[in-house]
Structure 1
């Protein structure tokens, strides 16, 4: 009768090859996960800003998107600014909140360092446009930028940066 199956040596050789392939694939998989986190954060930022703008228009009140603990990397909150002080008080309506992602750094230029506000027409408060760059924590290279025009229009860019604010 013919034997069907693997010998112990064949099984160990197969497991060794599988281990070597897994060791080679793990760094590439980590880079893929980091890239996906950056892309997801950029899309969530743009979506949150668009939602804040539309809520300001619908409610005819200023709506603010503010970085958690003054750091966009930690996440952000979107709230209705009833008293128009551009800071969230306990009695103001929280519309959305988003937590930051591990290994992703978000840097705002000087005009949008910690908060972005929209007036009842959808324009930016203080007539100051800005850019939020999404990058890796350890890297100075930005792969995504969320640009906010004075008119309130939000644009997600993947290329064509004049300079890199993550540096």
Structure 2
């Protein structure tokens, strides 16, 4: 009876083809994962800002979204500013917290460099309107921008930017 199977050369040829295909696909997969992380960061941050605005109007107290360690890229937390100093103290409750991704950079302009606060009417504290840009770690290109209007409205944009704050 004749045996059926693969020869060593056929097996090594198949493994070599798989290795070549995997090598070609790896950069595309990495770009896809980074793109998803940027999109997730932009959506989570805009959601956190909207939640902070809603909580400020519901609780009739200022609510602050503050960058962790002074950098939006590290993440942020949302807290009730009971003593109205716009900084998180140990006795102030945290409503939400989010950590950042390693390859995603978030840059705030103007008064949004470290924190955004909303008063009891939903307007930004200190007229802190501006944009937060979500960028690749080492790239000057922004794929998403979160705009905060003077009225407190938070909007997420993915195209049509007039400037590049990531540069």
User: In 2, distance between residues paired with 1:69 and 1:164?
Assistant: 24
Matches within 5 A, 1:8-157: 8-157=8-157
- Where 1:165 maps in the other structure, the secondary structure is coil
User: In 2, distance between residues paired with 1:151 and 1:72?
Assistant: 22
Q: Deviation per CA, 1:21-77: give whole Å up to 9, x if none.
A: 001111111111111110110001001001101110110000000001110000111
Question: What is the aligned-residue RMSD (CA, Å)?
Answer: 0.9
Consecutive aligned runs of 4 or more in structure 1 exceeding 2 Å deviation? 1-4
User: In 2, distance between residues paired with 1:35 and 1:19?
Assistant: 25
The alignment's TM-score, normalised by the length of structure 2, stands at 0.97
Matched residue count = 167
Q: Work out whether residues 54 and 122 of structure 2, in 8 Å CA contact, stay in contact via their aligned partners in 1.
A: yes
Contiguous gaps of at least 5 residues in structure 2:
none
- Where 2:52 maps in the other structure, the secondary structure is helix
Measured after TM superposition, the shift of residue 4 of structure 1 is: 2.3
- Where 1:30 maps in the other structure, the secondary structure is helix
The alignment's TM-score, normalised by the length of structure 1, stands at 0.97
User: In 2, distance between residues paired with 1:144 and 1:128?
Assistant: 19
Measured after TM superposition, the shift of residue 5 of structure 1 is: 1.8
- Where 1:41 maps in the other structure, the secondary structure is helix
User: In 2, distance between residues paired with 1:2 and 1:51?
Assistant: 71
1:166 aligns with 2:166: yes
User: In 2, distance between residues paired with 1:31 and 1:71?
Assistant: 24
- Where 2:83 maps in the other structure, the secondary structure is coil
- Where 2:32 maps in the other structure, the secondary structure is helix
User: In 1, distance between residues paired with 2:162 and 2:68?
Assistant: 27
User: In 1, distance between residues paired with 2:17 and 2:98?
Assistant: 42
